[in-house]
Every structure is written in C-alpha cells, then in structure tokens.
Amino acid sequence: MNGQKNTEKYVSAATIKRLPRYYRYLRDLLDRGITKVSSATLAKLMDVTASQIRQDLNCFGDFGQQGYGYNVEYLYNEISDLLGVNESYNAVIVGAGNLGRALVRSPMFARRGVKPIAMFDVEWSIVGSNISGIPVLHTSSLAKFCKEHDVHIGVLTLPKQHADAAMKSLIEVGVKGIWNFTSIEPGELKNQVIVENVHLGDSLMTLCFRMRDGANGTTESNEDESEN
C-alpha cells in the first residue's frame, strides 16, 4: 500500500457524494477497534458493491493492498483530508431562527472541522444574545465581520426572500462556500461561489414517495450509488 493520492483525475459528483459515507462508516469501524477492512466487508456495511468502493477510492490513490484490504485508520485519515476535516474552516450562520439554532447546537460542525464563530439576524430582540456560546449579531454587520474574521463558509438558514441578498454579501467579502438551506437556488451566483443546496422538504417527500410506492424494501436511499 503506497497511499499515493491523485486528486487530478476526474471525479464524478456521485463519487464525491459517497465520500462522507466512507468517512462515517470508517469512523464507526475505528470506534469498534477494527484496524483493517476488506472492500467486500465495507461494501456489505454500506450496501454498495466492492467494485464500486475500489473504483471510488482509486480516483484518489492506491489505498488498499491485495490480500490485506484497507488500513482503517489510514484510510479514514486520508478521506478526512480529502473532505477538508482538518482545514479548520470558520463559518457564520445567517438566520438565527429554529433551524439555525438547531444547527449551531449540534456537534456536527466540530466533528467535521468547521467552526461556527457567529450568527446573524435582523431581530433586535435576539441580537446580543449567545446560542451555545456563539454570539448573535445584527445582519447589518455581516460584511464587516466576515472581512475581519477570515470567514470561509456561510450557512443560510434565513427566509428565502432574503437569500439572494445574503449570498451576494458573502460573495463580495470573499466567502468561498455557501451551505444553503433556503429553498432558493443561487442561479447565476453559483458561478461565483461553491454552493451546496440542502432541500429538507425534498428529502421528506422522497421518503413519502418511497413509502407510498413500496419502494424496494430497503431502509436507506442509495440512488447515487449506481452513478459514476
């Protein structure tokens, strides 16, 4: 196993989408004290094929060894690196309503190398407060704060009618990524920043469709697994 990474190959969107799943399953194996895993065993856990796993990982380097499989800790660390878990990205959350509060209170950010450093809202009644130790500032100070604090990621949890203005403000101050929970697609703005759209309602409706349709009897939707 030489572990040589190659990130210059074309990598499909479906493969990138699977990387966080590898991250989660490998972390679980580590927590259970498992030090090595074969592609067949990992495939069974993840409900994909072993060839899919080998194909995905080969996009980034030679991480396995014939007859041995994968070193779990090494592969976990390499995928963590690919996913930027060790980059210590600073994030701001624009919108301190129920969703914004739920996100900032979860351990999700810290576990993935992202540090929320402020929340923003237009409601003066909550400006000046703290939510899980994160200060809530007025939206009017968003651009100034981002310039002064090297913000990398903007998380949009505000009402959709204000999404475009918030996104433009974040782009103007050099924020590189937007995690967008509004129902508004970025349109032309997507050419100026990396945007990950999260449509919670779409996911819920997909679940309802699969329940109504009696879809395939599986417990998890893996539609992306068939793409490459």
Q: Mind listing the pLDDT tens digit of every residue in the chain (228 residues)? A: 444 454 456 789 899 999 999 999 999 999 999 999 999 999 999 999 999 999 999 898 777 666 678 999 999 999 999 999 999 999 999 999 999 999 999 999 988 999 999 999 999 999 999 999 999 999 999 999 999 999 999 999 999 999 999 999 999 999 999 999 998 887 777 788 999 999 999 999 999 998 987 755 555 555 443 333
Per-residue pLDDT at 228 = 38
Per-residue pLDDT at 62 = 73
Per-residue pLDDT at 9 = 63
Domains, the chain, in order of start with CATH, read: 13-82 (1.10.10.10), 89-202 (3.40.50.720)
> How big is the chain, counted in residues?
228
Q: For residue 204, which amino acid is it?
A: L
Per-residue pLDDT at 65 = 64
Per-residue pLDDT at 185 = 83
* Closest CA relative to residue 5, chosen from 68, 67, 74, 69: 74
Per-residue pLDDT at 3 = 47
DSSP state string for 134-176: EEEEEGGGHHHHHHHHT--EEEE-S-GGGHHHHHHHHHHTT--
Q: Is 196 helix (H, G, I), strand (E, B) or coil?
A: strand
Residue 61 φ/ψ region, left for φ over 0, alpha for ψ in the -120 to 50 degree band, beta for the rest: left
Per-residue pLDDT at 33 = 97
Sign of the C-alpha dihedral computed for residues 184, 185, 190 and 193 taken in this order: positive
φ, ψ of residue 158 to 5 degrees: the values are -95, 170
- Are the CB atoms for 225 and 43 separated by under 8 Å? no
Q: For residue 53, which amino acid is it?
A: I
Per-residue pLDDT at 215 = 58
Report the relative pairing of strands 153-156 and 134-138 from DSSP bridges.
unpaired
